[in-house]
Amino acid sequence: MNDRQMNDPGPWLDEAARLWADHLANAGPERLRDASGCAGWTNRDLINHLIGGGYRYSMLLEGASAADTLSTRDVDYLEAGDPIAEFWRSENAFRAAVGSADLDVDVDHRAGRRPGRQLLVMRIMELALHSHDLCVGIDAEWEPSDGLVGFLLTDAAPVIEELRAAGLFEAPIEPASESAADRLLAFAGRS
């Protein structure tokens, strides 16, 4: 891992989006009602949440309030029938917002105000961890790169702790092994 990647989250966003999209491509319609790795959510719920997250983060970066984003939580993004295309529409909207926003300006996230730059880290975290949750739901192997896991263990750890305090993450658990990926999952309350 070079210094550029540690300071520039862009490559990690690209990798996390590919990781999610690759697993999404294997979540056919017959698996949508199956339980995901997120307690109480089906694969459909999880996919819908992640697609909506790209739109919500875009709205926040463009100056919307957390209350303004509430209506997006009831949208069925899978209704159009092509979850991969809808994911990329959402992801491209997020990336366009990142490209035009002042990322040092605070946004009104539902877990509290935070710099827009932190939404970028949160999106990487969301894509990577929810790709694990989708893998659980479709019985697939989750194999993020060591670099992506390292980024999340360093740059996303304080965000996870803050979101945990807001009730948005489960308590950490004992890792299944000493691998970096298992340590990340355990830290994020996943097994």
**Which domain CATH number covers 89?**
1.20.120.450
pLDDT tier for residue 10 given thresholds of 50, 70 and 90: confident
pTM of the model: 0.93
**67 found inside a domain:** yes
Whether the pLDDT of residue 8 is over 90: the answer is no
Would you state the pLDDT for residue 1?
Answer: 38
Domain that holds residue 122: 3-141
**122 found inside a domain:** yes
**164 found inside a domain:** no
| pLDDT (tens digit per residue) in 39-95 | 899 999 999 999 999 999 999 999 999 999 999 998 999 997 899 999 999 999 999
**154 found inside a domain:** no
**167 found inside a domain:** no
Q: Any long-range contacts for 76-79 (C-beta under 8 Å, 24+ apart)?
A: 76/48, 77/47, 77/48, 77/51, 77/52, 78/32, 78/44, 78/47, 78/48, 78/51
Q: Into how many domains does the chain fold?
A: 1
**159 found inside a domain:** no
**148 found inside a domain:** no
Whether the pLDDT of residue 6 is over 80: the answer is no
Looking at the chain, the whole-number percentage of residues with pLDDT higher than 70 is 96
**174 found inside a domain:** no
